[in-house]
Homo-oligomer: A and B are copies of this chain.
Amino acid sequence: MPAATLSREEVVTRILQEFRNHGYDGTSLARLSQATGLGRSSLYHYFPNGKEDMATAAMAAVGEVFVNEVLAALNSEGSPSQRLHAFTKQLSVFYQDGQTSCLTDVFSMGGAAVLFQKYLALRVSNLMRNIAAVLSVAGFDKAEATRRAENAIITIQGSLVVSRALGDNAPFLRVLREMPDTLLAA
């Protein structure tokens, strides 16, 4: 409704939210129009290639937040334990306490898979490298650090799916709470 002054950034944020919560194929232009307060034609003004452009913008926006907030916390100053605690704290914010889905899950299915799978794979790999680097500092060899980093990503993704299926974010919150110690356990 307050369409008048809505920055592009805010528009993209709302679009992102719709894609996260309804998936690519489940998000219609009508829905995006309502979520942003912009008419369909106005959406095409900002995103000439329509839905695909909007999804690309959502991918870029969420990627930027992830790098600037979540990865920044993971790569901040401090001990591995401190860095992992900062990391999981930011993850919780990023996923709204587990109440929203991950684009990696949502965009790896249906019409979006064809468009974005390559980027999704790169992002997963990149996150895995970053987590593994912290675990290397903590003393694990490269293979074990990589294995644990992959487990961390698997656990995050899985807890989001299970939380969504149960309609209860407790699994997500528990997983994040236990993650630093689990990753560093002997």
Contacts and interface: CB of A to CB of B under 8 A. Distances in A.
Contact of A158 (B125, B153, B174): B153
B110 A22 contact: yes
Interface residues of A, number: 38
A117 B167 contact: yes
A125 B24 CA distance: 28
Interface string A121-152: 10011000000000000000000000100110
B150 A154 contact: no
B154 A104 contact: no
A157 to B, nearest CB: 4
Contacts of A24: 26
Contacts of A147: 174
B158 A108 contact: no
A88 interface: no
**Residue from A102, A104, A117, A154 whose CB has the most chain B CB atoms within 10 Å:** A154
A26 B22 CA distance: 12
B25 A165 contact: no
A104 B153 contact: no
Nearest to A26: B110
Contacts of A171: 150, 154
A102 B164 CA distance: 13
Contacts of A26: 23-25, 109-111
A124 B166 contact: yes
Interface of A: 22-26, 101-102, 104-106, 108-111, 117, 120-121, 124-125, 147, 150-151, 153-159, 161-162, 164-167, 171, 174-175
